[in-house]
Structures are given as structure tokens and as C-alpha cells.
Amino acid sequence: MSNDRKQRAEQMRKEREKADKRQRNVITIAIVAVVIALVGVGGYAVKSTADKNAKSTDLVAPKNTKDYGILYDQADAEASDGGAASGDAKPVSVEVYEDFQCPVCQQFEQVAGPMLKQQVASGEIALTYKPFSFLDENGGSTNDYSKRATNAALCALDAGGVDDYVKVHDFLYANQPQEGTAGPENAKLVEDLNSLGITGAGIDSCVKSEKFVPWVVKAKEVAQDSDRKISGTPTVFVDGKKLDDFSPATIQKAVEEAKA
């Protein structure tokens, strides 16, 4: 009897060990399944974020552009003030090649910008902004701010029109980082646009994916390879003629000569 009890006890012990092992296996499988599910969810979230912020490589033209320029005329100026365009005289064409990281462009905007906007509003001129982002390749920025800032302005243009572009244009020059330093990253550029009332999911993804950077690169190449052979900023043309200097007085004189 003693041997029978020992055998039964041994059998029961083995059965308990088998049951414990099965239970551990079930728990282990459940834990692994949960971990796999969590990794899958996390991986999807990371991929979704990466896809959203993946840098664009397609050449896409922003809305409200023509010939790699942004036309700002009396209709845009008066529409931003809630008025309607007036005047019958044909405005004189003024084109400005510029780089948002260029300190001389900033000085030009401070000195000549108000005069140009006033003449746009009066119908004297039609102003075309010509992005020429070249300073990233010339030590002007350590994080491609020149192209990214232009992209942010183009995102505003594409989403809201010329008035929004001009808002961002003026803001970027007023807050221009020192040449040769790192400018604001894309997330900060989105915040800056939002502070100007330019909002929406489309703005966020447009700026962070650098949607129009290929267009910005192409605009520079076109300007360099054209008959004008643009090589620096600011460069100003009035009625198709390049100015030797870009003081307000010189621009005004050129406008009056074009009208004569």
C-alpha cells in the first residue's frame, strides 16, 4: 500500500507540473500576443507620423504662381483691405528676386517695401516676388532655412492666396535669423503661420513635408539659366530692365520712365 500511495503521489505531482507548465505556456503566449499587438500599433503610429512628415520629392507648383513668381497687384492689395480694385492705367511691372535668409533683402524690404506696397495699392505697379533661395548652398544657413522658409510662405500662398503670402513674407523678414546660423525648424514655422491666422491640417503637413521645396529649387535653376542669369539677391527689374541699384528713388524713377 505504501508503494501505491507513493506512486499515486508521484503521478499527481507530475500532473500538477504538467498543468503548471500548460498554464505558463498560455500566459507566455498571451503576453507575446499583447507585445506584438502593441509593437504593431506603435509601428503604425510611427509609420503614419513618418509618412506625414516625409520630405516631398515631387515638383508641384503652388496655387497662385506663374513663371515661378507670385504676382501682387492692386486687386490683391485692395482685397486685403476689403475694397475693390480701381484705376484704368496699366501698372508697371516690378520684379524682385529675393531670399528670406538674405540680410540685404531684409534691408531692401525695410527701405523699399512700404513704398512698393503703396504703389501696388495705388495701381502704379504690379509687384512680382521671385523666390531665389540660394544661400543654403553658400553658407547662409546651417539647416536649409532659406528653402524651408520659402516653402512655408508658399504653403500659405497655396492655401490662402497672395494676401497670406505677403503676411508671411513680411513676418519672415521681420524675424530673419542671423546669416550663417540655423533658422527655425519646420514645427516652429508652423507655429508662426498659425500665429498669423494661417491654420489647418494642410498647412502643418505642407510645411513639415517641405512640399514645395522641389519647386523652390527649380525656381532658382530657372532664374540662373534664363537670359537674366540671376546670381544673387535682391535683384530688381522694372518694366523688364535690371536696375543697377535698388533704392526707392531709383525704383521710382524707373517706374516713371516706364510710364512715359
Terminal CA-to-CA distance of the chain, rounded, Å? 129
Rounded Cα distance between 73 and 91, Å, is 8
124 touches 91 (CB < 8 A): yes
pLDDT at 19: 63
pLDDT at 85: 46
Query: Going by DSSP bridges, is the β-strand pair 241-242/235-238 parallel, antiparallel, or unpaired?
Result: antiparallel
pLDDT at 51: 46
pLDDT at 257: 97
pLDDT at 166: 98
CATH of domain 70-259: 3.40.30.10
For 217, other C-beta atoms within 10 Å of its C-beta total: 15
Which residues in the chain show pLDDT less than 50?
A: 1, 35, 39, 41, 44-51, 83-85
| H helices present in 123-212, as ranges | 145-160, 162-174, 186-195, 201-208
Percentage helix, strand, coil for the chain under 3-state DSSP, each rounded to 5: 60, 10, 30
DSSP state for residue 64 in the 8-state scheme:
T
Q: Where are the domains of the chain?
A: 1-53, 70-259
pLDDT at 89: 78
Instruction: Tell me the per-residue pLDDT of 181-191, one tens digit each, with 9 for 90 and over.
Output: 999 999 999 99
pLDDT at 1: 47
Dig out the grid coordinates for 71 from the structure.
504676382
Share of the chain above pLDDT 70, in %: 77
pLDDT at 42: 53
Q: Which residues contact 141 (CB under 8 A, 6 or more apart)?
A: 101, 135, 177, 179, 180, 181, 182, 183
